[in-house]
Chain A
Amino acid sequence: MTQRNEMRLEFDARSMNEGFARTAVAAFIMELNPTLDEVADVKTAVSEAVTNAIIHGYDNPQEKVVLTCSVEGTAVELTVEDRGKGIEDVARAMEPFYTTRPELERSGMGFAFMEAFMDDVRVTSSPGKGTTVWMRKNLGNPKVADTYE
């Protein structure tokens, strides 16, 4: 069993930081001895949440995205937070294929991916104030997405 361990990163809302954020999280959760597939699941979810903050949260790339990650026992908890535009209708934003940026060819699958690869995803948002995505995954528990065949 590991003791609770937590980290916090704050970075510019630039697309080049998407890779940095997911790689940092992957390195941080290594102490839990995750499988390669679990690491990839978490990296994908981080990438989705951070990309959302960068594309939808802000127009100015000098604004900051805050990422926290904690591990305790076999669980990983993440938050990705922006203090940007916020989401009017969170339930609608989480519907698969719904996107407000079709011109950027967003697939509308960001939240669906987070939900597919993590055990629990919660989104709180207020227009004009920002959005926080909270996610949790228990390592060592195969998810539905792992047993698709």
Chain B
Amino acid sequence: MENYCEWKEGCLLVHMPKELDHHQAGLIRAEADLIIDTCRVQTLVFDFKKTEFMDSSGIGVIIGRSRKMSYQGGRVVAQNLNQRMEKIFVVSGLHKMIEKENS
């Protein structure tokens, strides 16, 4: 199993893959949910440093995890978006739902 998630002191960092489609989405969801459901995650960070491609399946993963976080009262942040990811965020409306940060 590939490791997308890094867990440290209340912060779950998800390293988004180079290409994020429906095929990858299930793997990330399974790995992230295992940690969100068992650890006390205060901040969830999606890191897009490596990501060059994402379709609406990726949006589903982000919205789903954000919803889980809102039930338990945590922050959700997206960081290191390239120009393409910024565009995907705007087209999908995610830019109004998720905080953006550059690390």
A residues touching B (Cβ–Cβ < 8 Å)?
A: 15-16, 18-19, 22, 37, 40, 43-44, 47-48, 51, 54-55, 104-107, 109-110, 112-113, 116-117, 145-146, 148
Contact = CB atoms under 8 A, between A and B. Distances in A.
B27 to A, nearest CB: 10
Contact of A47 (B55, B63, B84): B55
B53 interface: yes
A48 B90 contact: no
B40 interface: no
B60 interface: yes
Interface of B: 19, 21-23, 25-26, 29, 53, 55-57, 59-61, 63-64, 84, 87-88, 90-92
B64 A148 contact: no
B90 A148 contact: yes
B29 A116 contact: no
A105 B64 contact: yes
B90 to A, nearest CB: 5
B53 A18 contact: no
Contacts of B87: 37, 145-146, 148
A112 to B, nearest CB: 8
Given A37-B84, A105-B64, A148-B87, A51 B57 contact: yes
A19 B23 contact: yes
A107 B63 contact: yes
Contacts of B57: 51, 106-107
A143 B27 CA distance: 33
Contacts of B23: 15-16, 18-19
Contacts of A48: 55-56
B60 A116 contact: no
A99 to B, nearest CB: 9
Given A44-B55, A107-B60, A146-B87, 8 more contacts: A15-B23, A16-B23, A18-B23, A19-B21, A40-B84, A47-B55, A106-B60, A109-B56
